[in-house]
């Protein structure tokens, strides 16, 4: 008699698309560990104003004082800051033409398909390699509309934008938020500054791609986006890294300001290598009659702590969150979302999915807070988890705190596996078991991929295919 749910072994997956290493020869690399001198050196390298250096040093103190919570979340015991370099930079200047980018770096981004995507479907691209942005460009017609898409460093050195950065930087995610937010502010480098003027709608997305090539290093980019009243932006963020046996760290911060009657969609395909500690923080504040949309695909990292937070301050503000997390062998991904509903008639809809296989651990964690004045607030959080084998784990830990008696809040979650009947049905129609399972998983992920531009949906489906190939036979 055939064994139920029989699985066969498959050779290791070819992840060469993402898993290739370039030499660090000639790179500027600061000593491992974290000291005030290193923080000062980063600041001096960027020729920053005093207020930024003060912020960095204060953040370092906070980092050293704060403890990680011991009662929740995956272990980060394998992360030793004494073996992490917080600043690694290739010897190159930021370019506006891919031909001006050093060959090995250009080759990296070409293999990742960034220049091609830029030509075909993007309004602008920023590409970060280790600690610095190596390429930044935006279509001329977009610039003519008054849109600013540059690095935080460049914005700080522009007298027109320095006061704006100073007004917003670090206000939505303060350094006191948690230990790794403090670390971020101490050593941040790279990232994006985006300003979309009032009433401007971008027809094509902007994209930033983050590549961490260096071994035993951290990436700490800061993204600051301001969408003025009546404006509309789609921003895409991608990230990847080659795999090492030494821990790498990503502790970025994303601060999004969506003013009244505006809309921002923030899409992420995260594919860090499986030696990465991804301790990232993302937060948006949303004004009156405005909309924030998060689309998130998390595939990589050894450990993740990632919970995009949306503060619905304005009346009738709304937020949609659509996310999928795929956790395989050696991965412990703690992801989810947070919503703070403060305005009247605010509305939240969240649809989260997770897939666990090969001993991977997925935790969906969420919180919905409805404030005392959020009359007629509405929130629905839905979470579905798919278990592909009996050695993996999937936990769902939502929390709701409701302080207004007119609020309507719902939460639902389901955890289960692909039914044998479904697989049998598809196999009876000529699919192999692997194909059948991949089809089911792709269908499960479809609500997320359909929210992405075509090229990114294809990338996400490819990632699922790669992951599934390792699991099934």
Partner 1 sequence: MASYTAEEPTVTLERVNTPPAQTWNYLKTNDITLTVPKLSRKGDVYFALPRLFDKVETGMGQKVTDWVTSQAADSTYVEVKAGEKNHAPIVVDVDSNAGTVQDAGVLVRQGASATVVVVAHGTSAEPQTSAALVRIIVEEGAHLSLVEVVATTDAHHHLESVGIHADAGATLDIRQFLLGAGVTALGTCATLAGDNGRVSLQTHYLGEHEQTLDINHVVRMAGKNGRAEVHENGILNDSARKSLRATIDLIHGGSGSKGNEAETVLVNGDGVVNKTMPVILCDEDDVQGNHGATIGSVEPEQIDYLMDRGLSRDEATNLFVRALFDDALIEADQPLARKAVFERAQQVLGAEVAQNLLDTLGLELAADAGEKDADAQATATATKESAD
CA pair distance 412, 398, nearest whole angstrom: 9
Where does this chain touch partner 1 (CB under 8 A) — which range of 19-27, 122-130, 411-419, 459-467?
411-419
Q: Which of 256, 374, 388, 457 binds partner 1 (CB under 8 A)?
A: 388
Q: Which of 330, 367, 422, 461 binds partner 1 (CB under 8 A)?
A: 367
Judged by CB under 8 A, the number of residues near partner 1 is: 36
Where does this chain touch partner 1 (CB under 8 A) — which range of 65-73, 142-150, 222-230, 447-455?
65-73
Q: 208 vs 309, which CB is nearer to partner 1?
A: 309
Distances, alpha carbon 314 to alpha carbons 121, 288, 317, 393, 401, in Å? 32, 4, 5, 38, 19
Least CB distance to partner 1 at residue 323 (A): 17
Q: 145 vs 382, which CB is nearer to partner 1?
A: 382
Least CB distance to partner 1 at residue 412 (A): 4
Where does this chain touch partner 1 (CB under 8 A) — which range of 25-33, 184-192, 393-401, 431-439?
393-401
Where does this chain touch partner 1 (CB under 8 A) — which range of 38-46, 66-74, 133-141, 161-169?
66-74
By CB under 8 A, residue 390 contacts partner 1: yes
By CB under 8 A, residue 214 contacts partner 1: no
Where does this chain touch partner 1 (CB under 8 A) — which range of 124-132, 259-267, 319-327, 384-392?
384-392
Cβ neighbours of 343 (radius 10 Å)? 24
Q: 259 vs 378, which CB is nearer to partner 1?
A: 378
Least CB distance to partner 1 at residue 371 (A): 11
By CB under 8 A, residue 400 contacts partner 1: yes
CA pair distance 123, 142, nearest whole angstrom: 7
Between residue 111 and residue 140, which ones bind partner 1 under the rule CB under 8 A? none
By CB under 8 A, residue 411 contacts partner 1: yes
Where does this chain touch partner 1 (CB under 8 A) — which range of 121-129, 192-200, 392-400, 428-436?
392-400
CA pair distance 209, 429, nearest whole angstrom: 41
Least CB distance to partner 1 at residue 118 (A): 38
Distances, alpha carbon 410 to alpha carbons 32, 114, 234, 344, 415, in Å? 47, 40, 28, 17, 17
Least CB distance to partner 1 at residue 201 (A): 36
Q: Which of 72, 100, 110, 454 binds partner 1 (CB under 8 A)?
A: 72
By CB under 8 A, residue 66 contacts partner 1: no
Least CB distance to partner 1 at residue 70 (A): 10
By CB under 8 A, residue 408 contacts partner 1: yes
Q: Which of 53, 413, 431, 434 binds partner 1 (CB under 8 A)?
A: 413
By CB under 8 A, residue 327 contacts partner 1: no
By CB under 8 A, residue 396 contacts partner 1: yes
- Environment class of 155 (CB within 10 Å of its CB; exposed 0-12, middle 13-18, buried 19+): buried
By CB under 8 A, residue 329 contacts partner 1: no
Show the 3-state SS of the chain: CCCCCCCCCCCCCCCCCCCCCCCCCCCEECCECCCHHHHHHHHHHCCCCHHHHHHHHHHHHHHHHCCCCCCCCCCCCCCCHHHCECCEECCCCCECCHHHCCHHHHHHHHHCCHHHHHHHHCCEEEEEECCEEEEEEECHHHHHCCCEEECHHHHHCCCCCHHHHHHHCCCCCCCCCCHHHHHHHHHCCCEEEEEECCCCECCCCEEEEEECCCCCEEECCEEEEEECCCCEEEEEEEEECCCCCCCEEECCEEEEEECCCCEEEEEEEEECCCCEEEECEEEEEECCCCEEEEEEEECCCCEEEECCEEEECCCCCEEEEEEEEEECCCCEEEEEEEEEECCCCCEEEEEEEEEECCCCEEEEEEEEEECCCCCCCEEEEEEEEEECCCCCEEEEEEEEEECCCCCEEEEEEEEEECCHHHHHHHHHCCCCHHHHHHHHHHHHHHHHHCCCCHHHHHHHHHHHHHHHHCCCC
Q: Which of 120, 403, 454, 473 binds partner 1 (CB under 8 A)?
A: 403
Least CB distance to partner 1 at residue 416 (A): 5
Where does this chain touch partner 1 (CB under 8 A) — which range of 147-155, 223-231, 235-243, 403-411?
403-411
By CB under 8 A, residue 23 contacts partner 1: no
Q: Which of 13, 41, 329, 397 binds partner 1 (CB under 8 A)?
A: 397
Between residue 414 and residue 443, which ones bind partner 1 under the rule CB under 8 A? 414-417
**Binding residues for partner 1 (CB under 8 A):** 69, 71-72, 363, 365, 367, 385, 387-390, 392-403, 405-417
């Amino acid at each position: 008699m055939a064994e139920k749910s029989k699985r066969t072994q498959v050779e290791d997956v070819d992840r060469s698309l993402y898993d290739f290493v370039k030499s660090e020869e000639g790179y500027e690399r600061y000593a491992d560990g974290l000291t005030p001198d290193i923080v000062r050196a980063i600041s001096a390298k960027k020729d920053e104003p005093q207020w930024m250096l003060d912020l960095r040093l204060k953040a370092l103190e906070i980092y050293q004082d704060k403890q990680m919570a011991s009662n929740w979340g995956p272990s980060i015991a394998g992360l030793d800051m004494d073996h992490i370099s917080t600043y690694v930079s290739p010897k190159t200047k930021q370019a506006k033409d891919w031909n001006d980018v050093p060959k090995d770096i250009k080759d990296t981004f070409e293999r990742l398909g960034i220049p091609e995507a830029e030509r075909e479907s993007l309004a602008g691209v920023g590409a970060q390699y280790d600690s610095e942005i190596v390429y930044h460009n935006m279509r001329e017609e977009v610039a003519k509309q008054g849109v600013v898409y540059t690095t935080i460093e460049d914005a700080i050195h522009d007298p027109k934008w320095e006061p704006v950065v100073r007004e917003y930087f670090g206000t939505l995610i303060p350094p006191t938020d948690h230990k790794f937010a403090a670390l971020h502010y101490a050593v941040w480098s790279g990232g994006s500054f985006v300003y979309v003027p009032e009433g401007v709608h971008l027809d094509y997305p902007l994209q930033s791609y983050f590549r961490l090539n260096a071994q035993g290093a951290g990436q700490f980019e800061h993204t600051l986006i301001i969408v003025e009243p009546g404006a509309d932006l789609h921003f895409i963020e991608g990230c990847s890294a080659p795999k090492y046996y030494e821990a790498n760290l990503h502790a970025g911060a994303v601060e999004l300001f969506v003013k009244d009657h505006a809309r921002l969609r923030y899409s992420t395909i995260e594919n860090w290598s499986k030696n990465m500690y991804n301790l990232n923080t993302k937060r948006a504040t949303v004004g009156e009659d405005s909309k924030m949309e998060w689309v998130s695909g998390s595939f990589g990292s050894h450990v993740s702590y990632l919970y995009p937070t949306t503060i619905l301050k304005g009346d009738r503000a709304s937020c949609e969150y659509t996310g999928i997390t795929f956790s395989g062998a050696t991965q412990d991904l703690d992801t989810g979302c947070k919503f703070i509903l403060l305005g009247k008639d605010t509305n939240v809809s969240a649809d989260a999915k997770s897939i666990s296989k090969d001993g991977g651990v997925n935790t969906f964690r969420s919180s919905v807070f409805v404030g005392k004045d959020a009359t007629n607030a509405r929130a629905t959080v839905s979470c579905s988890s798919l278990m592909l084998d009996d050695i993996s784990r999937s936990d769902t830990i939502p929390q709701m705190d409701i302080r207004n008696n007119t609020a309507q809040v719902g939460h639902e979650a389901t955890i289960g596996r692909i039914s044998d009947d479904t697989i049998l049905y598809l196999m009876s129609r000529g699919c192999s078991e692997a194909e059948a399972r991949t089809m089911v998983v792709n269908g499960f992920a479809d609500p997320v991929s359909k929210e992405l531009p075509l090229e990114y949906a294809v990338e996400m489906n490819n990632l699922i295919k790669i992951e599934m190939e390792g699991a099934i036979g």
